[in-house]
Structure 1
Amino acid sequence: MIAVKWLPRPAPYPEVWQAMQDYTEGRGPDTPDEIWLVEHAAVYTLGQAGKPEHILNSGAIPVLRSNRGGQVTYHGPGQVVAYCLVDLRRAGMYVKEYVALLEDVVIELLRDLGLAGACRKPGAPGVYVPVGKAAYSGEADAGELAKIAALGIKVRNGCAYHGIALNVDMDLSPFLGINPCGYEGLRTTDLAEQGVAATVQEVGEELARRLAEQLQRAPQG
């Protein structure tokens, strides 16, 4: 079984990051996997190879460098982050397969919530939904895609941490202060803007349930 737990909200990013590192460093072969659900206080985070020039105007929002993959993103109230602490070796998964699993779970969740066009974008990890012309046609390639979920992981001794952030009902304006995930002009959106009425609690619990279900189905090494 994969334990799922909510951390106190709003959760300061540095404390959660340190706790993930401590959990991963202290793991043994039989340490259970866990999923931590978090709603962070406002923060910009730069990935391990993140370029500071992608931060256009941070204003009063703190900027922290993290050891996850990817460029810069924003975390804040109204967004649920699912931190997956997973022993990939024990699960018999490579990193590429694991990333695909995380994206697949979010895509299927969004489609079940009525966002039929939820999809990947080649060369840009995460999950996207059509907006504008594309939203009306239902075809992802018919127009603009907006990012609704960002993904970044770190693997240490065969064990992954960090995870995936899904925008539920948040102030999207802080994304204008950055090139989200390193892409100039990339539009971001959330479930509320797409017409889905749901709380962070509801979305987080359903996301974690689906993640746990799929991770438990992975062939064990």
Structure 2
Amino acid sequence: MPLPAVRAVSLGLRPYEEALRVQRRCVDAARAARGPPPRPPTESVLLSEPARPVYAWGLRGAPAEREAERLRAAGAGLAAVRRGGSVTFHGPGQLLAFPVLDLRARGMQLRGFVERLQDVAVRTCRRVGVMNANGRSPPYTGVWVGDGKVCAVGVHCGNHITSHGLALNCCTDLSWFEHIVPCGLEGTTATSLSHELGRHVTVEDVTEPFLESFQEVFDCTVVFSEEPRD
């Protein structure tokens, strides 16, 4: 039996912390769909553009106190999140995509999910004209254009339900990455679609190519849905 359509929930320009709260509601809905009576899984992909600069770190641990104060002094918020990876930047001009998928229902392993998510980002980049975008293997997970990382990938999976996902730099102010070692990878740099193409590429410009790529890679239909409520 084919899986039902994946809901696309578009939050637009929204504080990162709010996007995380909506993600939690999507995860709760997906888990509740497994309970009695039997119902098909409720899957979503949450799209957002961070309204303010934030440095977020995953399960590798928080920055030291002095480092945290330095990042705050730069004018950014700080957030600890339940995903793989170390510290990275989220901010205006970046497309955040949080797929909330049931890997058990899809017969998919976590490594395969990460590879597909990376493939979605590669196809999105190529759709907008960055033809030399390529994914890499751990510890360089993500999408790269030469030596510049254009898309970070970091996920969490609990009870087979995924959360977090990817952050694609569209017209991001790349100077924010100068304050950190992005994703803990020494000697690497960040880039953006705008930088690579030499023109301004907004999150809105990239949303449709992203959803087209998502449907191809995950073999699904995406339908827009309202933001879930408590």
Q: Which category describes the TM-score, using the shorter chain as reference length?
A: 0.7 to 0.9
Q: Name the residue aligned to 2:142.
A: 126
SS in 1 for 2:149: strand
User: Structure 2 unaligned runs (5+)?
Assistant: 35-39, 221-230
Shift of 1:161: 0.9
Shift of 1:152: 0.8
For these two proteins, the number of residue pairs brought into alignment is 202
User: Structure 1 unaligned runs (5+)?
Assistant: 131-144
Aligned counterparts, 1:1-221, within 5 A: 1-9=5-13, 11-26=14-29, 27=31, 28-29=33-34, 30-40=40-50, 41-52=52-63, 57-58=70-71, 59-123=74-138, 124-130=140-146, 145-195=147-197, 197=199, 198-216=201-219
TM-score, normalising length from structure 2?
Answer: 0.81
CA distance in 2, matches of 1:88, 1:63: 30
CA distance in 1, matches of 2:61, 2:198: 32
Q: Could you say if the C-alpha distance between residues 3 and 213 of structure 1 is closer, same or farther in structure 2, counting changes exceeding 3 Å? A: farther
Shift of 1:25: 2.8
TM-score, normalising length from structure 1?
Answer: 0.84
Q: Could you say if the C-alpha distance between residues 5 and 116 of structure 1 is closer, same or farther in structure 2, counting changes exceeding 3 Å? A: same
* Overall identity of the aligned pairs, in %: 32
SS in 1 for 2:190: coil
CA displacement, residues 66-90 of structure 1 (integer Å, 9 cap, x when unaligned): 1111111111111111111111111
Say if 1:82 and 1:204, in contact at 8 Å, map to a contact too.
no
Shift of 1:160: 0.2
SS in 1 for 2:101: strand
Q: Name the residue aligned to 2:223.
A: none
Shift of 1:35: 1.0
CA distance in 1, matches of 2:123, 2:99: 18
SS in 2 for 1:15: helix
CA displacement, residues 21-61 of structure 1 (integer Å, 9 cap, x when unaligned): 232134223232111110012101000223515x5841221
Shift of 1:122: 3.4
